[in-house]
Copies of this chain bind each other. A is one copy, B any other.
Amino acid sequence: MKISEVAELTGLSVSTIRFYEEFGLCPFIQRGADGKRRFSKTDADWLELLASLRATGMSMSEMRTFADLYASGDATIPKRKAALLAHRQSLAARQAELERCRTILDRKLQKYDEIMKDQK
């Protein structure tokens, strides 16, 4: 798979994928004889997971910790599971926070409606 295809698939930009690789988030990417990156299905799945973690607020350094576990093989799966469970918790908190902000926006919209009604 080419880098542009993985970008399409994951929603990450081509630059971001290269940036992640340089940062050590995807350790196993092979190169063809032409020097270009070749992504396996596994690589693509891994990047999709990284994209979800990033989109839900995991920091680069946490992601690197997670990637280091990934690079160390299946023995680290319990640790990876624990990390994902913890992150799921923080995601729930983030979702609750977004809901809270939504009610603030909605209240503000209501106030605007009242003001506009009064002025008529």
Contacts and interface: CB of A to CB of B under 8 A. Distances in A.
B49 A108 contact: yes
A8 interface: no
A41 to B, nearest CB: 14
A43 interface: no
Given A87-B105, A88-B105, A80 B112 contact: yes
Given A84-B112, A88-B105, A98-B98, 13 more contacts: A48-B104, A49-B104, A49-B108, A55-B97, A74-B119, A77-B112, A80-B112, A84-B108, A84-B109, A85-B109, A87-B105, A95-B95, A95-B98
A81 interface: yes
Nearest to A102: B91
- For A49, A88, A91, A104, the residue with the greatest tally of chain B CB atoms inside 10 Å of its CB is A104
A104 B74 contact: no
Interface residues of A, number: 33
A119 B116 CA distance: 65
A18 interface: no
Given A55-B97, A95-B95, A97-B55, A88 B112 contact: no
